[in-house]
Amino acid sequence: MSGEHTSTPVAARVRRLEARLTEAGVVTEEQLDAALAAMLKGASPVNGARIVARAWTDPGFRERLLADANAALPEVGLSMAGGIQEQRLKVVENTATTHHVLVCTLCSCYPIGLLGPSPSWYKSEAYRSRVVREPRAVLAEFGLELPGDTTITVWDSSAESRYMVLPRRPEGTEGRSEAELAALVTREGLIGTAAV
């Protein structure tokens, strides 16, 4: 699926928005660069993987994370601060009967600090439009075949709200350390286009 997607329309819109904001005096180019640098500093799927591993091994943390992710993130040394404004994070948990997948239908809103830079297919119009209409088919194109009775929920990010999937813990991983568990988690698992 990823080969079909391009991000040039999104990139062009971002460049136009940046130009309008600087021309209007809302923000300087230096402020935009500083905001981007702050967002990307330490941005990695390793951060999301650490969160998942902690949730898999610490039921209390898992509860707090699902109830209020922004309040739970400091427990692992992370936050949704940085950039121009703080975003609200909601963590959604995959279960035996429910699978979650993320999208931003309007642009490419995405928790960069927790998942690293977004993949090109995430920003593509093909993914953004199709995953909402036919999530099961799109997930199958990524190689994720779900049972027919699995409920698939698509979460649409916005400028204010971001989402992260808490994947199901793989069978046979009891007794592994948080670091070993975190090494199993991929960015695609955090988006919901792959199982862990």
| Alpha-carbon gap, residue 83 to 43, rounded angstroms | 12
List all residues 6 or more positions away from 46 whose beta carbon is below 8 Å from its beta carbon: 116, 182
| Alpha-carbon gap, residue 196 to 185, rounded angstroms | 6
Are residues 111 and 87 in contact, defined by beta-carbon separation less than 8 angstroms?
yes
Structure tokens at 101: 């997948």
| Alpha-carbon gap, residue 175 to 69, rounded angstroms | 25
Q: Which residues are catalytic?
A: 104, 107-109
